[in-house]
């Protein structure tokens, strides 16, 4: 890969190191059980791409300050809460090759921990009167919940159009990355118009990120990622599949919808559907859409003066669509 996460982090390496400590402090509780769970969360953290967006966007227009750190903590608290809740909803017992919180402490505790993390995100903003950041995170929490519910509603009928798919991924995935970018610049006291511009940049980046995730369902990889065909087994309608089925003959459409409905655990039928998506140009179409989102995001960045933060955000945009897992 042309660039690595370490390369992207270079201008904000010191901030990311300090952030780990501040993030852990933002989760602390007097309840021993909660403290044990939050310690576990810190030790099993992922690449922390979202805080990176916050810090890089802050540096794009100024300097990282205490408000930036609070904003990054709010984002990571929300992100962690949604992962904890998602694992309960999906009945998933593994997260990044570790046991999930619901696997270790059962659903009831996992739901309450997720609620606690969301409340800490809100309190972090109100305690410091960061009402502009509070407005952003409140909208983000609402949109993520709406996106999940829209997907659940549509999944039952398997009648997701391209437009509905874009709305689902905008709310479920892109809205959080948009919040990172908006909060990053707002922490430097920029005007609302610039905040909205960076929100748009984050939305476009998030859309490209999710389409890349959906493409992994059709690509074998030696990296640790999700198993091939898992979205089909879970009856998730993603862009390559939506495009393929909407352009298929009525007979093929009926046959493959039946595969998703009734034979989604039949390995042979799932493989056959994956091959059909590939041969019908479903993957090529999704890649083109993803690259278009990336290009539009780069065009927004081009409006800013050159500097380390801008360079890293450009690298991040390449990483989003080139990553192997």
Percent of the chain at pLDDT exceeding 70: 89
178 pLDDT higher than 60: yes
* Domain at 198, CATH number: 1.10.600.10
What ranges in the chain are assigned the alpha helix state H? 5-9, 13-27, 32-43, 49-61, 66-89, 101-127, 131-157, 162-169, 175-186, 192-215, 230-233, 239-246, 250-262, 267-279, 282-301, 308-322
pLDDT per residue as tens digits for the range 207-232: 999 999 899 888 764 444 456 678 88
pLDDT per residue as tens digits for the range 279-290: 999 999 999 999
pLDDT per residue as tens digits for the range 268-313: 999 899 999 999 999 999 999 999 999 999 999 999 999 999 999 9
φ and ψ of 104, to 5 deg? -85, -35
Nearest Cα to Cα of residue 294 among 323, 266, 268: 323
Least confident of 20-34, 73-87, 191-205: 20-34
Residue range 184-201: average pLDDT? 94
Domain residues for the domain of 188 are 5-322
pLDDT per residue as tens digits for the range 10-43: 999 999 989 988 888 887 777 777 777 777 777 6
Token representation of residue 145? 């919940």
Task: Check residue 94 and give its pLDDT.
Answer: 59
Q: What is the dihedral of CA 312, 181, 71, 188, to 10 degrees?
A: 80
Total of domains in the chain: 1
Sort residue 148 into left (φ over 0), alpha (ψ -120 to 50) or beta: alpha
* CA distances (Å), origin 264, targets 78, 92, 109, 240, 243: 32, 18, 32, 17, 19
């Amino acid at each position: 890969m042309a660039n690595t996460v370490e390369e992207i982090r270079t201008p904000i390496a010191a901030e990311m190191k300090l952030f780990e400590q501040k993030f852990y402090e933002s989760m602390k509780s007097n309840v021993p059980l909660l403290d044990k769970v939050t310690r576990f969360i810190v030790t099993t953290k992922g690449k922390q791409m979202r805080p990176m967006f916050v810090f890089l966007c802050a540096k794009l227009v100024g300097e990282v300050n205490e408000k930036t750190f609070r904003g990054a903590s709010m984002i990571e608290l929300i992100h962690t809460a949604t992962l904890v809740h998602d694992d309960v909803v999906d009945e998933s017992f593994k997260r990044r090759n570790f046991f999930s919180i619901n696997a270790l402490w059962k659903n009831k505790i996992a739901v309450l921990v997720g609620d606690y993390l969301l409340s800490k995100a809100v309190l972090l903003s109100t305690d410091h009167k960061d009402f502009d950041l509070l407005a952003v995170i409140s909208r983000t929490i609402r949109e993520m919940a709406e996106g999940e519910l829209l997907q659940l509603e549509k999944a039952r009928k398997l009648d997701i159009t391209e437009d509905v798919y874009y709305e689902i991924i905008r709310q479920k995935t892109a809205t959080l990355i948009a919040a990172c970018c908006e909060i990053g610049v707002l922490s430097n006291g920029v005007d609302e118009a610039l905040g909205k511009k960076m929100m748009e940049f984050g939305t476009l980046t998030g859309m490209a990120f999710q389409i890349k995730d959906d493409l992994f369902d059709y690509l074998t990889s030696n990296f640790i990622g999700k198993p091939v065909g898992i979205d089909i087994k879970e009856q998730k309608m993603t862009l390559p599949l939506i495009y393929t089925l909407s352009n298929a003959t009525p007979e093929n459409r009926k046959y493959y919808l039946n595969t998703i409905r009734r034979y989604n655990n039949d390995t042979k039928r799932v493989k056959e559907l994956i091959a059909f998506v590939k041969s019908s140009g479903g993957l090529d179409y999704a890649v083109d859409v993803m690259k278009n989102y990336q290009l539009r995001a780069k065009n927004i960045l081009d409006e800013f003066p050159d500097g380390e933060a801008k360079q890293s955000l450009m690298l991040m945009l390449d990483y989003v669509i080139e990553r192997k897992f």
